[in-house]
């Protein structure tokens, strides 16, 4: 039997589907397995490097098996592997064998946000003291620009605590039982990614700022979520984390 | 098919690749490479003459790797070695990917841009492996079109690298060297000769490395790659060489390199080490071995 003149579809199909027969016309046919292994092993390796804490929580072998299912279901659509893995968290959330570990998908979601922030657009943050130059009576009208790498993750699980306890290789560190859900900010203002725990009100405050609301309007929205929201107390760690890249006064051309 | 070389090699960059040893820049070695003595003009102190990166790893908006490459670019001539265009594939190179590569080229002005005689995408999925192609007339026609389109889109000549083969196609009508010679004549591309790949393919597919090199269009080579390989056993129990880029260059490959330099003179030579990365000093020692062979086999040629 003559091999197909254009072997690509056969070759690619048999690479992904390990149960399919080796394509005709390859010498020696036994070597086809090398390519098949390369495809899966290299993509699983890429995911392992991108989700190190998820790997630690699941164990190398178990993560490898989950990643294999993910690769099979959602192979990369682009040769830029820096973009591969965005869908892993959703995949893990719907993966039946992991039902007993409901927090795992959000840990993977946090790791993806860290990866995206690390390789996101550059912007120079304002110094924490920069707002001190604004006249107190004009503060309410201030509009703050968020860093382009900023992202918020809200989880019903203590994901930041789990991530931090297991961020360094070593023995698995369990977190205390019964911890509440956590909300966190991810931003990469300089060389490294910053993680900042947020109250639910602070997250609402940031979402309002992101929509372009003034400081006072955003603080008011946060106050509706939690009457105890304190603007100055919330802003200080955000400024230190390098979250803001500039500010201007609403209805004004002045920008900083 | 238009025989066009849109822009002569060398026209784009601020500093050409010198005919000496270079090293693939990896994040693990950013600190070491940036601590090396700065070059004076195009001359670099003892160590490494130029750097190569996979552009696909830099197709991001920002991040530490851009900071490092921007700094390294000030100290060393730079070469891009693409791994994502799938030029040997059935589909045309992705215009969106070409546009991103073109923008990255404009940003970093690499002196050389190379890709592979292979395919890696099909049906919209990327397989992250350099897959072999049958050496047929129709595959050659298509590859010439893809190389042509890439050179047009990037506005420059590209180099094509010979693959490391584990198997061959019964359907092949030509030797790899014939295939490459026609590709060069018809597309105007240059060649990247990977000597480890020659050795690995020769061993795996049963041909002679020296005979291959004697038949290979050496005068079109603009860059050489050297790397390590590993011996494994395939599913049928036969020995197979795996192109791992994970160890030092073998004695047999150094001997073939010596032969190529004797035949063709000085050429930019990359030490490729992508897995199980060693200490920076070990890479420098490999680079020094290549520089020594260049000096011994082509003593009268000037270093660019």
Interchain CB contacts (distance < 8 Å): A and B: 132
- Determine the average pLDDT of the residues in A211-228: 97
Report pLDDT digits (tens) over A169-204.
Answer: 888 888 888 899 999 999 999 999 999 999 999 999
- Determine the average pLDDT of the residues in B70-96: 96
Quote the CA–CA distance of B20 and B304 in Å, as a whole number.
8
User: How close is the nearest chain B Cα to the Cα of A26, in Å?
Assistant: 5
Of the candidates A36, A9, A250, the one whose C-alpha atom is nearest the C-alpha of residue A143 is A250
Mean pLDDT over the full length of chain B:
91
Residue B168 at interface with chain A, using a CB cutoff of 8 Å: yes
Residue A191 at interface with chain B, using a CB cutoff of 8 Å: yes
Question: Which residues of chain B are within 8 Å of residue A38 when distances are taken between CB atoms?
Answer: 128-129
Closest partner CB to A82 (pick from B57, B134, B238): B57
Q: Tell me, what's the pLDDT at A170?
A: 80
Quote the CA–CA distance of A180 and A157 in Å, as a whole number.
6
pLDDT tier for residue B220 given thresholds of 50, 70 and 90:
very high
Assess contact for B44 and B284: CB atoms under 8 A. no
Residue B141 at interface with chain A, using a CB cutoff of 8 Å: no
Mean pLDDT over the full length of chain A:
94
Closest partner CB to B83 (pick from A7, A79, A149): A79
Residue B269's beta-bridge partner residues? B21, B224
| pLDDT at position B6 over 80 | no
Q: Tell me, what's the pLDDT at A254?
A: 54
| A79–B62 CB contact, under 8 Å | no
- Determine the average pLDDT of the residues in B215-222: 98
Quote the CA–CA distance of A214 and A221 in Å, as a whole number.
11
| B238–A28 CB contact, under 8 Å | yes
Q: Tell me, what's the pLDDT at A252?
A: 65
User: How close is the nearest chain B Cα to the Cα of A124, in Å?
Assistant: 12
| pLDDT at position B15 over 90 | no
Residue A80 at interface with chain B, using a CB cutoff of 8 Å: yes
Angle A32-50/A8-16 helices, nearest 10 degrees? Answer: 50
The total number of residues written for chain A in this structure: 256
| pLDDT at position A156 over 70 | yes
Report pLDDT digits (tens) over B120-169.
Answer: 999 999 999 999 999 999 999 999 999 999 999 999 999 999 999 999 99
Q: Tell me, what's the pLDDT at B150?
A: 98
pLDDT tier for residue B33 given thresholds of 50, 70 and 90:
confident
Number of CB atoms found within 10 A of residue B22's CB: 28
Q: Tell me, what's the pLDDT at A40?
A: 97
Report pLDDT digits (tens) over A15-52.
Answer: 999 889 999 999 999 999 999 999 999 999 999 999 99
Q: Token pair for residue B172? A: 């092949």
| Closest residue in B to A5 (Cα–Cα) | B171
User: How close is the nearest chain A Cα to the Cα of B264, in Å?
Assistant: 33
Residue A126 at interface with chain B, using a CB cutoff of 8 Å: no
| pLDDT at position B301 over 90 | no
Q: Token pair for residue A227? A: 């009457």
Assess contact for B17 and B223: CB atoms under 8 A. yes
257-286 in chain B: CB under 8 A from chain A: none
Range of lowest pLDDT (A100-104, B59-63, B299-303): B299-303
Q: Tell me, what's the pLDDT at A7?
A: 85
From residue A191, give the alpha-carbon distance in Å to each of A166, A186, B150: 21, 13, 34
Question: Which residues of chain A are within 8 Å of residue B124 when distances are taken between CB atoms?
Answer: 77
| B61–A121 CB contact, under 8 Å | yes
pLDDT tier for residue B289 given thresholds of 50, 70 and 90:
very high
């Amino acid at each position: 039997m003559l091999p197909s003149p254009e072997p690509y579809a056969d070759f690619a199909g048999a690479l992904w589907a390990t149960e399919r027969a080796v394509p005709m016309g390859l010498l020696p046919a036994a070597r086809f397995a090398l390519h098949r292994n390369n495809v899966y092993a290299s993509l699983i390796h890429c995911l392992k490097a991108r989700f190190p804490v998820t790997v630690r929580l699941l164990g190398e072998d178990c993560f490898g098996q989950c990643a294999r299912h993910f690769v099979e279901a959602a192979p990369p659509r682009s040769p830029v592997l820096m973009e591969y893995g965005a869908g892993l968290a959703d995949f893990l959330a719907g993966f039946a064998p992991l039902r007993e570990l409901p927090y795992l998908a959000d840990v993977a979601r946090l790791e993806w946000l860290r990866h995206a922030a690390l390789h996101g657009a550059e912007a120079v943050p304002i110094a924490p003291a920069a707002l001190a130059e604004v006249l107190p009576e004009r503060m309410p009208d201030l509009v703050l620009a968020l860093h382009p790498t900023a992202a918020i993750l809200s989880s019903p699980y203590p994901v930041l605590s789990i991530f931090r306890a297991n961020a360094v290789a070593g023995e698995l560190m369990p977190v205390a039982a019964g911890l509440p859900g956590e909300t966190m900010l991810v931003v990469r203002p300089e060389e490294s990614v910053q993680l900042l725990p947020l109250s639910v009100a602070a997250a609402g405050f940031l979402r309002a700022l992101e929509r372009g609301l003034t400081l006072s309007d955003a603080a008011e929205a946060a106050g509706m979520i939690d009457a105890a929201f304190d603007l100055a107390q919330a802003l200080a760690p955000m400024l230190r984390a390098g979250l803001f890249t500039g500010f201007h006064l609403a209805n004004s051309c002045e920008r900083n | 098919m238009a025989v066009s070389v849109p822009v002569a090699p060398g026209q784009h960059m601020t500093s050409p690749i010198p005919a000496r040893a270079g090293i693939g820049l990896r994040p693990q070695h950013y600190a070491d490479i940036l601590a090396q003595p700065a070059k004076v003009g195009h001359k670099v102190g003892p160590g490494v003459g130029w750097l190569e990166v996979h552009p696909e790893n830099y197709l991001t908006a920002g991040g530490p790797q851009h900071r490092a490459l921007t700094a390294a670019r000030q100290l060393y001539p730079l070469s891009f070695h693409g791994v994502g265009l799938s030029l040997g594939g059935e589909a045309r190179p992705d215009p969106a990917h070409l546009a991103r590569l073109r923008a990255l080229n404009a940003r970093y002005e690499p002196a050389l841009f190379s890709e592979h005689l292979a395919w890696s995408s099909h049906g919209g999925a990327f397989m992250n492996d350099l897959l072999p192609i049958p050496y047929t007339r129709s595959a050659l026609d298509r590859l010439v079109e893809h190389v042509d389109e890439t050179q047009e889109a990037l506005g420059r000549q590209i180099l094509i690298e010979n693959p490391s083969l584990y198997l061959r196609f019964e359907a092949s009508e030509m030797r790899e060297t014939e295939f490459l010679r026609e590709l060069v004549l018809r597309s105007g591309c240059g060649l990247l000769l990977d000597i480890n790949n020659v050795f690995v393919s020769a061993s795996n597919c049963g041909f002679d490395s020296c005979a291959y090199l004697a038949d290979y269009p050496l005068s079109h080579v603009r860059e050489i790659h050297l790397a390590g390989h590993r011996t494994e056993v395939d599913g049928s129990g036969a020995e197979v060489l795996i192109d791992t880029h994970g160890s030092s260059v073998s004695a047999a490959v150094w001997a073939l390199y010596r032969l190529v330099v004797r035949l063709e003179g000085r050429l930019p030579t990359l030490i490729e080490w992508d897995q199980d990365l060693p200490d920076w000093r070990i890479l420098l020692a490999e680079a020094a071995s290549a520089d020594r062979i260049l000096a011994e086999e082509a003593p009268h040629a000037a270093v660019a």
